[in-house]
Amino acid sequence: MNIEQILFAPEGKTLEFKENSSATKNIIKTLIAFSNTAGGSLIIGVKDDKSIIGIEDPLKEVERIASLIDDSIAPKIAPNIEIISYRNKSILLIQVYPGSNKPYQIKNSPQDMGVYYRVGSTNREADLAIIGELKRSVTNKYFDELPMIELNPEAIDFRVASGFFESRRHLLPKDLETLEVMLDYQGRKVPSIGGIILFSPEREKHFPDCWVQVGRFKGSTKADIVDTLEIHDYPINCIERAMDFVKKHALLSYNLEELQRSENWSIPLQAVREAIINAFAHCDYSQKGAPIRISIFENRLEIENPGILPFGVTIPEIMEGVSKIRNKVIVRVLHELGYIEKWGIGIARMIKSCQDAGLPPPEFKEIATRFRVTLFTKAITPPRIDETDRKIIEAIRESDGLSTAEISKIIGLSGRSIRTRLKNLVNLHYLYEVGTGPFDPNKRYKIQK
């Protein structure tokens, strides 16, 4: 990104402007927050309204800022401080990269104080849970793979675990160790945090916010609630029950197609499912105070989980497919059970599902210590595919390819109607054809990778 792009970009997680360097304490907090989170650029000599006023004696200012950083931040950071000449004014560009010695804090602060991280365009002081995550982020340790040393193997309900895996494979007790649901700790077996969250009947005793709150509201605010439900269940059951609640309240329209009714949801169910699964997979279970929340309004659906993005990752990056796992054990189990097809593609599928339905792209936002996904229900363009098309895609995805006749039998529409839909899905690069030619009666359709 060149200097003009930086100057005319909005303030956010990785960018902040300062009129001058007089507020040294705020400058230090910002640089600490950048170092602890995803890096960033601090520009001095630019007002909030983007008018460039510049700085006097830039060489002296560089020396002063460098000394200030060296004297005020621990562990030490090595920012790039550059004098930029723009429109006959001198401004300072201070670039900070994500640090490898987290957590960074104000030097000589009491233990577990003076640590800051970035949420949107604000700096926030970290609590013990955030500080713990900062420390784990540089050791490649995941919260959910830590041992619960005070518990024994009976804390995991093996019957429940094997029931979830029943349709996939026969689960053996030793598989719990492969999945890191059970760990070897000083010569004895203990459950991991992820194992307790996934398969313990007493998970809420140890993690009180490990449940889901769902609600349907009238209008576009939370002033008038229509229906609500608290789901206290194993996370995998919570995903399905939350989906059932959304389907119960999501708006439907109906199209008659060859005398058969075709349901079109106001919001793509695949996008909803991906968002709910992501909320469980990337939830920060070390936080206390609020569960995963799902709120349905007339014009949108919000899925919110404890935990901002993993440190080092930004919202534009996740929209480009960058993924960083917060819960290794939980993600591995969800992957084995087929809830996560490939790591890192959930956001892309969410965006594409909304695009195909003619809806605005999802909105991703960090709010305090939580992460929210908003899916909108008002179309802005004609839909590219509908719910029937999605059912065709999912049916083919679960097979090694299907013929027109096989798809017709599964979906319940005539071969002629199915052929029209298949042609459209091939043109949109969802499917490709396998056969000897365009009129091959045994031609099969497969998913385009």
The predicted-structure confidence for 190-238, as pLDDT tens digits, reads as follows 999 999 999 999 999 999 999 999 999 999 999 999 999 999 999 999 9
CA distances to 148, 172, 190 from 184, in Å: 11, 17, 6
Q: How many Cβ atoms are within 10 Å of 395's Cβ, its own excluded?
A: 16
- Asked whether the predicted pLDDT for residue 262 surpasses 60, the reply is no
Q: How far apart are CA 27 and CA 19, in angstroms?
A: 11
**DSSP state for residue 345 in the 8-state scheme:** -
Q: How far apart are CA 404 and CA 422, in angstroms?
A: 8
Q: How many CA atoms lie within 13 A of 57 on its CB side?
A: 6
Residue where the block lists tokens 């098309």:
389
Residues 168 and 336 sit within 8 Å (Cβ to Cβ): yes
Using the Cα atoms of residue 258, residue 263, residue 266 and residue 269 in order, give the sign of their dihedral: negative
- CATH for 387-447 (1.10.10.10, 1.10.3210.10, 3.40.50.720, 3.40.718.10): 1.10.10.10
Domain positions in the chain = 3-137, 143-204, 212-376, 387-447
- Per-residue pLDDT tens for 408-443? 999 998 888 898 899 888 888 889 888 877 677 788
Classify domain 212-376 at the CATH topology level.
Answer: Heat Shock Protein 90 (3.30.565)
**Average pLDDT for the chain:** 90
Q: Where are the beta strands (DSSP E) in 258-339?
A: 260-265, 292-296, 300-306
Nearest by Cα to 124 from 373, 366, 374:
366
Record the tokens describing residue 123, joined without a space.
């700096």
Nearest by Cα to 183 from 209, 152, 162:
152
pTM: predicted TM-score of the whole model, two decimal places? 0.80
Describe the crossing of helices 387-397 and 404-411 by its angle, rounded to 10 degrees.
120
The domain at 3-137 falls in which architecture? 2-Layer Sandwich (3.30)
More confident of the two residues 281 and 260 = 281
